[in-house]
């Protein structure tokens, strides 16, 4: 049982790591902001931009987006003949329901017994 728990937690760790991968450049920027602004900033010569390393962050994010786009497989929809368009092209069959007058009738079957006497609960004698 311990081995199953290890593998389950290992795969959960891998899943969390994969989900946090897009956040790593932001985390890196927050942790090393001073170092990035001083040494890795692209716009060091343009002090008036007040970049503080955000240019490096944008460069890293764009690199990651390009890498993600390159790793996605191409899907040819012609290879998959069943799709929404084919399903929607099926003609509808007419049902037996028509828009005629309603055939339901309302009947009021409510009744009650009227009693003139007042109900008084029994009194408790202590």
- Helix, strand and coil in the chain, % to nearest 5: 55, 0, 45
The SS3 assignment for 31 reads helix
| Per-residue pLDDT tens digits for 10-34 | 999 999 988 888 788 888 888 888 8
Q: Is pTM beyond 0.75 here?
A: no
What is residue 58's predicted lDDT score, i.e. its pLDDT? Answer: 85
Please say if the pLDDT value at position 9 is more than 90.
Answer: yes
Task: Tell which wins on pLDDT, 7 or 120.
Answer: 7
Q: What are phi and psi of 122, to 5 degrees?
A: -65, 145
Instruction: Tell me the pLDDT band of 6, cut-offs 50, 70 and 90.
Output: very high
In the chain, % of residues over pLDDT 90:
8
Selection from 89, 21, 87 nearest residue 60 by Cα: 21
Selection from 65, 75, 76 nearest residue 25 by Cα: 65
For all residues of the chain together, what is the average pLDDT? 76
Please say if the pLDDT value at position 88 is more than 60.
Answer: no
């Amino acid at each position: 049982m311990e081995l199953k728990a290890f593998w389950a937690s290992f795969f959960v760790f891998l899943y969390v790591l994969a989900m946090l991968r897009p956040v790593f450049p932001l985390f890196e920027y927050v942790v090393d902001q001073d170092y990035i602004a001083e040494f890795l900033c692209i716009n060091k010569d343009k002090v008036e931009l007040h970049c503080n390393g955000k240019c490096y962050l944008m460069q890293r994010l764009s690199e990651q987006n390009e890498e993600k786009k390159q790793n996605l497989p191409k899907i040819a929809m012609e290879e998959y003949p069943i799709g929404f368009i084919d399903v929607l092209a099926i003609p509808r069959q007419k049902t037996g329901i028509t828009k005629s007058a309603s055939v339901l009738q309302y009947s009021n079957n409510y009744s009650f017994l009227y009693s003139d006497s007042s109900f008084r609960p029994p009194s408790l004698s202590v």
